[in-house]
Amino acid sequence: MFDPRDPAFLADPYPAFAALRAEGEVHQHDGLGIAITVSHAASAAVLRHRGLGRIWTDARPLERFASFNLLHRNSLLENEPPAHTRLRRVIAGEFGRGHVQRLRPMVAELAESMVDTLAAKIAADGSADLLEHLAQPLPVAVIAELLGVPASDGGKLVTWSNAIVKMYEYGLSEDGRDAAEQAAADFVAYLREVVAGSPRGIVRDLTASELTPDEVVATAVLLLMAGHEATVNVIGNGVTALLTHRAEWERLRSDPTLLDSAVEELIRFDSPLQLFERTATEDVEIAGHRVAKGSKIGALLGAAARDSKVFDAPDTLDVGRSPNAHLGFGMGIHYCVGAPLARVEIAAALTALTKRLPDLRLAAEPERRPEFVIRGLRTLPVTA
């Protein structure tokens, strides 16, 4: 069984997933303390099954994690109907496909400006960090504009988000847990100040809705975090994949009609979210494995994405892959509400990069974040 802290596994987890999948669709992982699904069919069943829900359990001791628990206890991601339905209904219109499509020119302009800055940095210094100049600031700038918070606050929002999501990992140090709570407290205080002022955008709409003050804060924080974490890691992981599979970079660069399928393939090929947990609200059976009421099971999305029963040559990057039934944005009622916006942002980044920096290549080996559940990079040095 894989060790989620092993650097060799984190560098390339997919052979370990393939070995498990050859043995069966569901396995008990004693290190994680849960069962995990490694096939596409079993993972999809976990995501769809109404007997498996997102049931929040407060981090303890309660007095130590007051802000972290507040954010998650009131989050649509951690609730089932009817609370989930009520929370999602308030924001669903903001992220509908039609509304998001109208944002394309704004997102494209932001991406082009950031790639110009990246190109200037490369010209001046010989190389630059694509995460710093594009992958991180782009989704933060977009979601900050939509929420109505200052873009100049993007840096601290990213810092808080990065600290909080480490709590989703297994075996986090006590210092890391304290840092997550402090970041949550800072985020809560920041959003309360925004709400108390003259809120704009989605924050204004949330404040005027039926949501409680805690739900307004939790929803805004979720949108800021989710709007950043998934997209930055798809762009980082995806550009790395393209630059290490050069023929696919050249294929995309020379044929822009492949853009939409390339976005889906990058989400599939190196999933930014590797594991998504569910808790059984009744006794459930998944691929012959019994999940007792109250116990947890995790859909291993990275493993599902390489299942040869669903994807031809699953370990091959193919920017023209179609169909592409990846589970990167989930399934069922918890399907990612921001998926249309993430797709627009990833497409804008790829378009700007392939047009402005057609000879882009790695300047050094990217540095990977030492986490398993949220899969991404710390640095992505590039040159041209």
SS (H, E, C) the chain: CCCCCCHHHHHCCHHHHHHHHHHCCEEEECCCCEEEECCHHHHHHHHHCCCEECCCCCCCCHHHCHHHHHHHHCCHHHCCCCHHHHHHHHHHHHHCHHHHHCCHHHHHHHHHHHHHHHHHHHHHHCCEEHHHHHHCHHHHHHHHHHHCCCHHHHHHHHHHHHHHHHHHCCCCCHHHHHHHHHHHHHHHHHHHHHHHCCCCHHHHHHHCCCCCHHHHHHHHHHHHHHHHHHHHHHHHHHHHHHHHCHHHHHHHHHCHHHHHHHHHHHHHHCCCECEEEEEECCCEEECCEEECCCCEEEEEHHHHCCCCCCCCCCCCCCCCCCCCCCCCCCCHHHCCCCHHHHHHHHHHHHHHHHHHCCCCEECCCCEECCCCCECCEEECEEEC
**266: alpha, beta or left, given left = phi > 0 and alpha = psi -120 to 50?**
alpha
What span, in angstroms and rounded, lies between the C-alpha atoms of 304 and 308? 9
pLDDT of 329: 94
The 10s digit of each residue's pLDDT in 258-277 is: 999 999 999 999 999 999 99
What are the pLDDT tens digits along the chain (384 aa)? 999 999 999 999 999 999 999 999 999 999 999 999 999 999 999 999 999 999 999 999 999 999 999 999 999 999 999 999 999 999 988 888 788 889 999 999 999 999 999 999 999 999 999 999 999 999 999 999 999 999 899 889 999 999 999 999 988 999 999 999 999 999 999 999 999 998 999 999 999 999 999 999 999 999 988 878 889 999 999 999 999 999 999 999 999 999 999 999 999 999 999 999 999 999 999 999 999 999 999 999 999 999 999 999 999 999 999 999 999 999 999 999 999 999 999 999 999 999 999 999 999 999 999 999 999 999 999 999
pLDDT of residue 171: 87
Q: Alpha-carbon distance 323 to 265, whole Å?
A: 10
Q: What is the pLDDT of residue 337?
A: 92
Class of CATH domain 7-383: mainly alpha
> CB–CB of 218/72 below 8 Å?
yes
- In this prediction the pTM is 0.95
Cα separation of the two ends of the chain = 40
Q: What is the pLDDT of residue 97?
A: 77
Write phi, then psi, for 308 (nearest 5 degrees): -70, -15
Q: Any idea where the domains of the chain sit in the sequence?
A: 7-383
What was the pLDDT predicted at 94? 86
Q: Of 121, 108, 122, 157, whose CA–CA distance to 136 is shortest?
A: 157
Q: What is the pLDDT of residue 95?
A: 86
- Cα gap 67→152, rounded to integer Å: 24
